[in-house]
Structures are given as structure tokens and as C-alpha cells.
Amino acid sequence: MDSTTAGTTPDLVHLRRNGVSLVLSTGAGRLPRIVHWGADLGETDEAVLQSIARAAKPPIGHNLNDQVHDISILPEFEAGWLGRPGVEGSRHGTAWSPEFRVVTQSLLLDSTMDDGYRGDLLRVEASDPVAGLDLTVETALLESGLLRARATIANRFEQQPYTVGALRIVFPVPAVAGELLDFTGRHIMERVPQRSEFTIGTHSREMRGGRTGLDAAYLLIAGESGFGFRSGEVWGTHVAFSGNQALYGERIYNGARVLGGGELLQHSEIVLDGGEKYESPWFYGSYGVGLDALSGRFHQHLRSRAGHPRSPRPVVINTWEAVYFEHDLATLSELADRAAAIGVERFVLDDGWFGSRRDDTSGLGDWSVSREVWPEGLGPLIDHVTGAGLDFGLWVEPEMINLDSDLARAHPEWIFSAGGRTGSSSRFQHVLDLTHPGAYDHILGALDALLDEYDIAYLKWDHNRLLVEAGHTPGGEPAIHDQTLAVYRMMDELKARHPGLEIESCASGGGRIDLGIIEHTDRVWGSDCNDPLERQQIHRYTKLLVPPELIGAHIGSSPSHTTGRTQSMQFRAFVAAWCHLGIEIDLRTLAEDELTGATEWIAFYREHRELLHSGTVVNADHPDESIWVNGVVAADGSEALFGVAAMTRSTAWPPGLLRLPGLDPDRRYRVSVVPPFAASAGHGPSPDWIEEPIVLSGRALENAGVQIVPLWPEDAYLLHVVAV
């Protein structure tokens, strides 16, 4: 069945969206099984679908169950699945291997779902009356071509609680997917790629810190060996949740390969009484040829949201690396004036404005303006900032608490603890248990009062420690699941009470970036590291999931405050300008040439941000790994920007022609170097085309290329490509 056809649900369903086909088997009373997920199969009728299903059916192997081992969305022990089951749990040792049989199923075509996304949705209701469990499985192919699924399990027995251990979704991938890519990292070094062969066994990445994590797998991608940004079939998966989670690739000796994931539940975290239910996060899958196609689906998906930021993303100045905790009205007013003069549009006051917060040892939890630092409140500073033409933002960390705070002294029972102990601190802080109604109401009320009193357009919402021993007082029950939902709820409530408020997700930098938190925020902070060399890699791989307009990137100081590297203003600004641009420097200390460079780059960003934040993100697979090429191409193919950066010294020079991907192959384009690079790009003799822009077809630019401008390490230049 094609996605444009309405009707009852047949045993085989064919959904098609944006170059992707999904064929689902829904017969025999069993949970849905994916027959095909990948390249578009074209129009099909029932006979063709039956042939596709027959062609994909494996034989019954020696010494296996006497049934075909096709894998459901939630693979089942009872069906002979040999890997991780979709449902784990028990009723005091019973009902640990449920046998779900479909009761009803419905197919909603070209429909709007409960979160506003459009696509085709198969909803299946199933039950195991012996185990006393009901199950709902929703599988959708969205307009973007993204696949997603989630499950809800419910307890039917009034007097017998059911403990949920796991509720996992799996998407099968074909045998051609022989290589895995996921990510690791640490503070100020997020999104480090790691590749491995997709061998028999389980490749599992588990995040137990109560947030997505600096070392998060982020995406788990399986693809043809050697796949790149522009080549090789790839299948990528992501868990849309900001708490504990697991992503895994599993290959069984019988030939099955799956990518699976879900929330990682702590022991007895979800215990269902009669009539209660647990809903898993959405598990997303993206298919494409090359990583650019995979990421493009996520970008299209997020940009289709009703709440996606539509206004131009304002240039930000953040005060953290400029003044740290040293706050005073005169200094910050001068910083705002200098920022306004170079084109900045938003001023964000970072940590140190509240309670006893003169350093990071005290004050968290006391969200009232410090009268010691701000005797007249924040009004005079905000009036000065807005009078200079900037809007005002404020740093907060609502989920955290210092033991040296008025709130901790008044309500120690609101602090996470397990085993009757508060546990170890991290950065001198602990975690406030927002699952306590009193704690939730107190923090919500404090933030709401600030937003009522002051003209605040933006909250930088930080989360600077892991949730270790996150137990609910007094019993110590695990609470990360409910804590995550409470944070979502609080963000939504603040935005509902204060229309137009924007929220940034920050967590020691890029420690909470996922499709769960993005549904409640307007920007994510890419990293606490403003070193552009580190940021190149962070941006490249953060953009696999998140479009550039949602990724905060700031021009930092030289030397870098986090790595000590010294870099030119050109390189620092070049790297930051591809995302949501900001600056994090004490502008009073900049030399005249650096101030001029920053001004030029802010002007460039403001002139081109519509293209930067709406176009298709592309990356070239340059044969010389020292050269990185990224770009953005307008949706109508009329214009593009490409950046070329030297990450290290190249063994040979020149390192090969520069290919520019993603353009309309049949259009002709004028290629020129963009100011502020025109006068300074390269070191040594440049190719002839630099002096006089050339005109080539999109096909020639992608398949033949142009000679590169000479570069030194940590140097870069920009190309403007315009259709003629």
C-alpha cells in the first residue's frame, strides 16, 4: 500500500516518503515486522509486496525453532529471538516472556500526529492476557523520510504490580551494513567519532549519568564499509530522550542485524500498578546514501516543527569568558556598549548574579538577585542593555544545588540521595530532586518571578554534573526517569507563561543534546570549548542530528581559555559563523585589528544567516584528511557557501582539487572567495581563478572541482557560489 492510499490495514503495508520505503508485515496476529527499510522501492501492488516479503524470508535453519525468524519492532523471546528482547520485566519472577498478539491495528495516512509532525502512522494494540499486559506499538514514516517507533506497556492486573526492566525498539538493517559509527567524548572534547566492524555480538553504548552525556553515542550508524558524507548506504538511529539511555547494534549468528535502543531504566524504576502504563521514548531511524543524506532528514524534521525558531538567530555576547564571576554594572555596561557597536544583538549574563554565588562553591538553588553585587537589582543593567538595542538573557542551573545555600539548609530532603547518604559532590554541587512537588514548585516559582520582574528574553539553562545516586528522598527510589520529565514540564510551563521566551540547553557544554530536549528548547550549546580547532570536529558531527541554527558557537579568546592554543581572529570567527554565532571575549582587551575582524565577521553572519540557517548542510569527502570542506546550499539551489579549512599540515601540496557537493548539476555558478578572506586567503601563489571568479556547472564543481587556495594549518577560507 502506498502512503497516498487510504483503507484498512492489510498484512503488508508499504509506506513511501522522501526517497525512503518502509515495508511492514502486520499479519498472523503478531507485532509489526520490518521487511524493508531503505531506498524507495517505487509503486507497488499487493502481488509485488507479497513477492518482496517472500524474497526476504529466510529459511528455517538447523536446530532452530520451527518458524521463520523475522524480527518484530519489539523482538520477543517466545518467537525464538536470540538477542536482547524488546520487553524485559516480570511480576515477581513471572510474566517475564510475554506473548503479545494483536487485538486491533489502524493505519493513518498523511496525518498530523499528537506532537504536530506529519506522516504515516501504523498503530497496533496487542495483549497477553496470561501475563496481564497490554502493549501499544506506534510506527511512523514522517514527511522527512525519518522512521520512528515507540511502545507503551500497561499492567492489566489490579493486585499484581509489574516491574518494567526495559522497553526497546529495534530496526533491522541489511547485510551490506558492515561498519558501525558512533561517538564518544569528554568535557571540551565532545562528538569524537569511532568506527568499528559490525561483528557478531552486541555493540552497546549505555549512558547512566542522568543526561544524554558528553561521551554519548549520540547516534549509532550502520553502513557500507568505508561510507562517507556523500557515499555509501547508511542507517542511523537515535533515542529521543535526555535521561539514561542505551543504543546498541546487535548481530546474531543466524544473519540478523539490528540497531536498537531505548531508555535505560534503573532497577525497579518503573513499577506499574494495575491500570498504569509506561511509554518509551521515540526511537528514530534515518536512511540515506552518505551521512549528509542521513543528517538532512533530521534537519528537515526539526525545521518542520511549529515551534522551530523562525526569526533570525541573533548574534550573542556571553559574559562567562569575558568576566567570569566578576560582575559590576560599569564593566558589564561597557561590554554591552562595545558589543552593540560591532553588531551584537543579545547580551547573556552568565553565572554569578544570584545569592551567595561569588564562585562555584555556593549559592546554587537560591534564584534571587544578589543584593551584594546588584544592590538595585538587575534593572539598571537590563535597562542599559536594552537601551543599547540588545535583548537580555540570563544563565540559570535550576536542577542543581550547592550544600552551601539557603535552599539546601532549609530543605535537605529535596536533594537526591540513595542509601541514606547525600553522596559525593561534583563541582561542589548536588542535584535537586524536582520530582518532589515542593522542590518543583519552588524552582518554577523563583524562575517565574524573575521573568515577571525583568525583561528577560532568553535563559541559558545549564546542567553541570552527572546524576549519580539519583534517589528520591526518603526511600532512595531511583528517579532519573521522572526527573527528566519534570525538567521538560518546567521548561514548557515557563515558555507557556512567558510567550517568546527562548531557552538554551547547556550541560557542561554539549552534554544534553538530543531530540528530547530539543522539543522544549530553542538552542543547544555545542561545547564549553571555544577553541575553533576542537569546534570544527564538534560542529561537523553535532550537525549530523541538529541543524546549524540551533547550535550555539562563540568566537573565543586567543589564547583559548580551555586549550591554550593561539589562533587568528579569522579562524576563530570562520568556525563559529556556520552555526548560531556568538562572541565570548572581554571586548575591552581586543586589539584594533581583532575588533575590526570580529565586526566584519558579525556583518557577514548577519548578511548570510538566512542561507546558513535554512539551506542544506553538505560536506565533501576530500581525499586529503588534513582538508575539511563544509557548506550550505540554498533549498532552491540558487546560492551556496563553502568553507575550506586546514586541520593539519598536508603531506603533499596542493592536496588535490576541491569538489563542491550538493549543487544543481545543470545550473551554472560563479565561484568567488568571500570577504573578509579576499585579501588574506592563502599563503603563497594562488590559483588563477582567485583573481577572476570562474563560472562552472554544478556537475563540474562536484565531479571535477577547482584547485585549492594554499593554506597553513588552522587556516581557512570561504567560497560564495551563485547561480548565473
| Residues marked as catalytic | 462, 528
DSSP 387-435: HTT-EEEEEE-TTEE-SSSHHHHH-GGGB--BTTB----BTTBEEB-TT
**In 3-state terms, what secondary structure has residue 602?**
helix
- DSSP assignment letter at 507: B
Cβ of 602: how many Cβ atoms within 10 Å?
22
Which residue, 489, 488, 483, is CA-closest to 469?
483
Please state, in angstroms and as integers, the Cα–Cα distance from residue 165 to each residue in 73, 87, 95, following that order: 17, 8, 12
Look-up: residue for cell 498504569? 276
Interacting residues of 369 by C-beta distance below 8 A, sequence separation 6+: 353, 354, 377, 378, 450
Interacting residues of 82 by C-beta distance below 8 A, sequence separation 6+: 252, 253, 254
Residue 709 to residue 325: CA distance in whole angstroms: 43
Residue 693: asked if its preceding bond is cis (omega within 30°), the reply is: no
Amino acid at 616: T
Please state, in angstroms and as integers, the Cα–Cα distance from residue 255 to each residue in 73, 81, 201, 663, following that order: 17, 12, 11, 39
Is the CB of residue 579 less than 8 Å from the CB of residue 539?
yes
Is the CB of residue 309 less than 8 Å from the CB of residue 522?
yes
> Burial, 275: exposed, middle or buried (Cβ in 10 Å; 0-12, 13-18, 19+)?
exposed
> What are the phi and psi torsion angles at 485 (to 5°)?
-65, -35
Which residue, 482, 516, 468, 513, is CA-closest to 216?
513
- DSSP assignment letter at 308: S
